Amino acid sequence: MIKKITLLATALFAAGMITTYFSDKGAMSNPSGSPASYTGSPGDGQNCANCHGGTSSNVAGWITSDIPGTGYIAGSTYHITVTVTGIGSKGFEVSPQNTSGVLQGTLIAGTGTHLIGSGKYVTQSSSSSSNPKTWSFQWTAPVAGTGNVTFYGAFAVTMSVTKLSTLLVQENTGVGLNEISENEVSFFPNPVKDLISVKYSLNCYSTVLINLYSIDGKKIISLFNNDQQTGEHSQQLRIKGIVDAGIYFIEINISGKSTIKKIVIE
């Protein structure tokens, strides 16, 4: 009789351990990171609840940054922090987008995170039961003139508890864009087939940068980077073969002051 009781107790204990093991494993359907396009943004149209079930509730302050209150500066890199609270195995997915779902700027993965969806989203490399749990990554701001950017985030706290949070950051329009008058710089032709000419005047010895950006604000290539003397200058820059046909931004930066123009490449 004692032997039967012992065997029964052992079996119950083992069953309990198995249940606990699989329950813990089931606390996060994607422990190594969320699939792409689940931030709850207007462009994505879905969030963690699509996998975990239930309805996601909104929370404030789960996405923070070191972007100053005056706004981001085009091309600058900032630290973004995600903090998830609650009891359970946690994960997240965040993406900076416009209302059409287009990625704004460039994400850079940090410790414990990785990029998915061709760099459009950042998510955890492994889930965590720490409470609270913090992840950090970086973001390089898009080209000047992009305007406000929203970081959309979806968070899984347990298998059945999901949250949504956003962070809206504005562009610092006091620097960068239009600091150089359009009368001082000219870009032609536009549309561009092969070469684009950039003409400008320098009133002192200056560092001149000419950069090409995609329509969503990602820097593609530096077309020119040099120190130049005072006077009139003209650069013939080859565009053909660098990118596909489409709409782009070209920026000229002279000793920290810049202007930007939208161009069409045929």
Task: Compute the mean pLDDT over every residue in the chain, rounded to the nearest whole number.
Answer: 82
**Which residue ranges form the domains of the chain, and what is each CATH number?**
29-169 (2.60.40.4060), 185-265 (2.60.40.2550)
Helix (H) / strand (E) element for 252: namely strand 246-254
Specify the higher pLDDT residue, 6 or 67. 67
pLDDT tens readout for residues 36-67: 999 999 999 988 888 887 788 999 999 999 88
Specify the higher pLDDT residue, 143 or 25. 143
Instruction: With beta carbons less than 8 A apart as the criterion, state whether 116 and 189 touch.
Output: no
**Cα–Cα distance for residue pair 263/108, rounded to 1 Å:** 27
Q: Half-sphere exposure of 66 toward its Cβ, with a 13 Å CA cutoff?
A: 9
**Cα–Cα distance for residue pair 209/93, rounded to 1 Å:** 35
> Which residue type does 244 have?
D
Phi, psi of 257 (to 5 degrees): -100, 140
pLDDT tens readout for residues 201-258: 888 888 899 988 887 677 889 999 999 998 889 999 998 888 898 888 888 888 777 7
CA dihedral sign, ordered 17, 20, 25, 26: positive
CB atoms within 10 A of CB 61: 9
Three-state secondary-structure class, residue 4:
helix
Q: What angle do CA 143, 144, 148 make, to 5 degrees?
A: 95
pTM for this model (two decimals) = 0.60
Helix (H) / strand (E) element for 107: namely strand 106-108
pLDDT tens readout for residues 82-96: 999 998 889 999 999
